[in-house]
Amino acid sequence: MFIILVMNGLFVGLTTLDIIYLADHFPHSNEKIVALDQTIAAGGPATNAAITFQKFGHQGTLLSMIGNHPISQLICAELEDCSLSVFDLAPYHPEPPPTSSIIVNKTTGERAVISINAIKSQAKADKLSLEILQDIDIILIDGHQMAVSQVVAQEAHFRDIPIIIDGGSWKPGFEKILPYVKYAVCSANFYPPNCYDGDDVFAYLKQVGVPHIAITNGEKPIKYWTDGEFNSIEVSSIKAVDTLGAGDVFHGAFCHFILTHSFVDSLAKASEVAAVACQSFGTRQWMENLTDFGVKNYQKSKNTDLFF
């Protein structure tokens, strides 16, 4: 039997309630359509990444703003069911947490999302206890709670805890966090100021001192720069059922692999996990289907090296 060393990850950022519909097409203006399926789940980049990390046998801690609205209770119930540790930045906040409405196109697996994100739920960092970093092995920041993230990043750098950013898109304040970041794993939609293409993004991140950089682009190759090497990794060709949350799953899996693997191997393996996630509807069903990919018993069998 393989022994998995349990590590502790801190995930800082957004928590939402995701209401997800499966449809045979996206609605046109003034059109009403009947969904083929639906599911409701806690969402947000940091939240989905934390749940993925937890699925690999580690302990995830979510640092986010959830509040005390009835909708918040739905979110908390699922996070508790996932065995996540949760540190709520505003546990008595009475307003509803961000809610995302999502339509997934059954034919293509593409999704359309409308959400307010954390625009109206920014937490202050003045009451944050840095004891939350005790025994933490790795940190992921998605940029949605920037004031808190800046404090965490500075203290984590002092404690030599590696920081990963989920660069889904550029958010003001990232420039104060990036000097402390070890791994920048960004999407093709991540454009810092005065950056207009991938080359500009790599140059910007290298200039601010990020040593390991990757840019994902859906089904296209992952481009990366590390140890002075610029290269790319091919992505598995699949029939996507639902691409919602694929990037979040990628980041959560990357946090798992980077604890024991090289940067390049971690990117490749995380990409394979994200490919698995894209073949199921919603952001949780893929975990139930892991057996189909020979990984549910990864602690007992090594039929593939994908998850090691």
What pLDDT, in 10s, does the model give residues 192-218? 999 999 999 999 999 999 999 999 999
User: Which is higher by pLDDT, 228 or 293?
Assistant: 228
Q: What is the pLDDT of residues 107-124, one digit of tens each?
A: 999 999 998 877 777 888
Q: What is the pLDDT of residues 125-166, one digit of tens each?
A: 888 999 999 999 999 999 999 999 999 999 999 999 999 999
Q: What strands, in cross-sheet order, belong to the sheet with 163-167?
A: 85-88, 59-64, 8-13, 138-141, 163-167, 183-187, 212-217, 220-226, 229-233
Output the pLDDT for position 127.
80
Residue 16 has pLDDT above 80, yes or no: yes
Under the banding of pLDDT at 50, 70 and 90, the label for residue 300 is: very low
pTM across the whole model = 0.91
Residue 4 has pLDDT above 70, yes or no: no
Residue 253 has pLDDT above 80, yes or no: yes
The CATH architecture of the domain made up of 8-15+44-97+119-294 is 3-Layer(aba) Sandwich (3.40)
Query: Phi first, then psi: what are they for 246, rounded to 5°?
Result: -60, -40
CB 104 within 8 A of CB 22: yes
Under the banding of pLDDT at 50, 70 and 90, the label for residue 42 is: very high
Residue 295 has pLDDT above 60, yes or no: no
Distance (Å, whole) CA 157 – CA 160: 5
Residue 227 has pLDDT above 60, yes or no: yes
CB 51 within 8 A of CB 252: yes
User: Which is higher by pLDDT, 158 or 295?
Assistant: 158
Pairing of strands 138-141, 8-13: parallel
DSSP readout, 175-197?
A: HHHGGG-SEEEEETT---TT--S
